[in-house]
Structure 1
Amino acid sequence: MFDRPATSVVHPLTDITGLILAGGQGRRMGGRDKGLELLGGVALANHVQARLVGRVAEVLISANRHLEGYRDLADRVVTDSEGGFQGPLMGIYSGLCAASTPWVLVVPCDMPSLPLDLVDRMAAGIGSHRIAVAHDGERLHPVVVLLEKVLAGDLHASLAAGERKVGRWFERHAWTTVDFSDCPEAFGNLNTEEDKRRLEARLNEESRP
């Protein structure tokens, strides 16, 4: 549908908005709001925000509940354009609409150890594509993605047609992968209490001198 991006990433600090997805229902965590779960005494979303702040023009959080709890963790909180917890594509669409930059870097709220150079590497890896997706050497991470804001219109049409699969929507566009095979552990996420214990152990190890 689209061949080349209308714009290029010149400078992440002016061209990219960071979007943290925290609008899910947290079903595997017993319905708890994952972004506000404490990990090492700090909210998960705050760990993720630290990977973006100072590296992008603005940080947005996509959330659908406990909005007050998120307001101090981002420049703005964005709610889904339509209710009903419709999944990450709806959160991405709402973030694209809210962004004031030509590019948006999407990350989930439950990956507290994302690479500190994530923004620069994603920007460098997009090339002439409209979408760039992180790959850890073994698998894709579809919600760690850099994409063009102008895709909002097509995404809205896809959502209206019933599309809810992130990867399937990507296939409509010129997309590429960005290689993070040197740090696959950085993409560990939190879905269960066991995941939480594992990630806390990792954070403790990283904080040791």
Structure 2
Amino acid sequence: MTVTAMILAGGLATRMGGQDKGLIPLAGRPMISWVIEAIDSQADAVIINANRNIEAYEALGYPVITDHVTGAAGPLAGIAAGLIGCRSEWLVTMPCDTPRVPAVLIQRLADGINGAEAAVAHDGQRLQPAHAMLRASAADRLETFLARGGRRMHDWYAAIDTATVDFSNHRDAFDNVNTPEQHARMEARLLGWQKEAR
């Protein structure tokens, strides 16, 4: 099994004042760099989905792909671009605003897919649809879904054969940064985490 990991950084981040969330400093470095550090050793390749500040993302040393679908298509537009652009059998996605990606993310999704077309993380309380593994061959069907006006990730996963994978023992790993208040809390946690690691 070959796997490309794609970090979704193409959103508008309206609750963060429209800032490019992946590039916001978090505990001394861009938020996306925490995700890169966590996922790089798990995947055969890493790509970034971004729609602005492309040069800044390219400077991180990974290929950057942009959405093909125009308009407010949301994360599925980035996933569609990733399915088309990846050169692996599988694509694993995660957002740029969850800096504590589990070290077992890809392995557990792969173990849980059981012949399905996609596997999606479940934190024990709710589905985490941006943390998923999909067959690259699903690209055409996702583009058709989007062309017909589909936008909700839950609707897309309901339309294909999708396995749900238990990550209830890693619930904190899915805490994201959507607001300045969440940013402050996450920064404090990461700084404490770094201090404990020394």
Q: Over aligned residue pairs, what C-alpha RMSD do you find?
A: 1.1
- TM (norm. structure 1) is 0.90
Q: Which amino acid aligns with 2:86?
A: A
State the Cα deviation string for residues 89-144 of structure 1 (Å, max 9, x = none).
11000010000001000000000011122121111111111111111111110000
1:125 aligns with 2:132: no
Distance 1:47 1:73, change over 3 A: same
Q: Tell me which residue corresponds to 1:41.
A: 28
Distance 1:107 1:174, change over 3 A: same
Instruction: Specify which of 175, 182, 192 is matched with residue 188 of structure 1.
Output: 175
**Equivalence map 1:128-139=2 (5 Å):** 128-139=115-126
Retained in 2: the 8 A contact 1:23–1:64? Answer: yes
Alpha-carbon distance between aligned partners in 1 of 2:61 and 2:48, rounded to the nearest angstrom: 6
**Equivalence map 1:17-96=2 (5 Å):** 17-96=4-83
Q: Which amino acid aligns with 2:110?
A: A
Retained in 2: the 8 A contact 1:25–1:85? Answer: no
Alpha-carbon distance between aligned partners in 2 of 1:176 and 1:197, rounded to the nearest angstrom: 34
More helix by share: 2
Alpha-carbon distance between aligned partners in 1 of 2:64 and 2:72, rounded to the nearest angstrom: 16
The alpha-carbon deviation at position 199 of structure 1 amounts to 0.7
Residue correspondences, number: 196
1:152 aligns with 2:139: yes
Distance 1:110 1:180, change over 3 A: same
Alpha-carbon distance between aligned partners in 2 of 1:52 and 1:194, rounded to the nearest angstrom: 25
In terms of mean alpha carbon deviation, does 100-109 or 64-73 score higher? 64-73
- TM (norm. structure 2) is 0.95
Alpha-carbon distance between aligned partners in 1 of 2:189 and 2:22, rounded to the nearest angstrom: 18
The alpha-carbon deviation at position 51 of structure 1 amounts to 1.5
Q: Tell me which residue corresponds to 2:191.
A: 204
% identical equivalent positions: 41
Retained in 2: the 8 A contact 1:136–1:181? Answer: yes
Q: Which amino acid aligns with 1:165?
A: R
Structure 2 gap segments, 5+ residues each: none
Q: Tell me which residue corresponds to 2:88.
A: 101
Q: Which amino acid aligns with 1:77?
A: V
Runs of 4+ in 1 over 3 A off after TM superposition: none
Retained in 1: the 8 A contact 2:93–2:131? Answer: yes
Retained in 2: the 8 A contact 1:23–1:85? Answer: no
Alpha-carbon distance between aligned partners in 1 of 2:193 and 2:106, rounded to the nearest angstrom: 20
